[in-house]
Structures are given as C-alpha cells and as structure tokens.
Amino acid sequence: MADGGETTGESGGGVWLQETNAWVHHNTIVENTGEGPNTTYGGGIVVHEPGSPLIEQNIIAFTTVGGGLFCHSGVTPTIQNNLGWQNLPVEGVGLCADWWQTDGNIIEDPLFCDRAGGDFSLGEGSPALTHPAGPLGAIPTPGCEPVLVEKVSWGDIKVRAGRR
C-alpha cells in the first residue's frame, strides 16, 4: 500500500512508469492512493510520458484515490489479462480510461482471503486463479478456502433484521 504525495505535482500510488518500456507483470497492487493537482493521477499504476510498457497479469484493486490505471500523453502501453476491482473514482483514467474492456482484462472481485487483516492471498475459486491467461497477481496458488460471497436482496436483509 503506497501513498503518492503531491510534492511533484503529479503522483502514482503503487507503480509510476515514466519514459519506459518496462514489463509489469504478476503484481498485486492494492489499496494505493494517487494524489496531485487532481485526484485522478493513478492510485494503482501511472504510465507517464513516452513509452510502451507491457502491463499484464496484475491485480489492481481497492485504490482509494486516483483510479486503478492512469495513462498520460504520449504513451502506448499494452494492457492485457489484468484484473481490476473497486478502484476509486474509476478503473481507468486518461488515455487508459477503458483498459478493462478489452484484451482479456476483467473487472471481478479477486476474493482476497482477509483484506481487512492484510492478507491479499486469494481464495479458492478466485477469478484471478482461473483466468484463461493463467494466474493473475503475485500469488499463483490459493491461500485459503473458498471465500463466501453471498448474493443478498434488500428483502433478505430486512427479514434477517426482523423487519418486514
């Protein structure tokens, strides 16, 4: 978890890529903050100025400020087979606004074992472990039993609370 400061006027919380053709793969980038003159400067990953990095098989989730992935002028990244989830204010910003809509990228709950407790390993059945391109993120094997995800309607909640 990283917090990009405002000292440079631009920032990236998790990973800052500037003028590079780097290969960014198999990372779990979670709960980062990107700040700057506006709060859409890439809390998860920033790709800034000329470069063509390859960004693949990462999990980018729960960014608190700045969005999941921000691409600035002059960049031509290849973004494929990544998982994004609940990045604020949006999954993609700038030239990468729609990164999650193509090339094997998905928006699904990664099913972390215990996010509140800081355990970002994945539960059995996580879409990050069953992706067609292979495991996504830094941990390629399940770290816990399946994580219970229960669909609940508003009516179910009222019944459980004893209200009708």
Query: Under a CB-based contact definition with an 8 Å cutoff, are residues 32 and 64 in contact?
Result: yes
Q: Is residue 29 part of a domain?
A: yes
Residue 20 lies in a domain: yes
**Residue 6, domain member (yes or no):** no
- Per the structure, the count of domains in the chain is 1
In a domain, 8, yes or no: no
Q: Is residue 70 part of a domain?
A: yes
Say yes or no to pLDDT of 141 above 70.
Answer: yes
pLDDT given at position 148: 62
Q: Residue 7: what pLDDT? A: 47
Mean pLDDT of 130-153: 85
Q: Is residue 65 part of a domain?
A: yes
The mean per-residue pLDDT over the stretch 120-132 comes to 96
Domain hosting residue 71, numbered range: 15-160
1 occurs within a structural domain:
no
Q: What percent of the chain has pLDDT over 90?
A: 59
In-domain check, residue 138: yes
Q: Is the pLDDT of residue 100 over 80?
A: yes
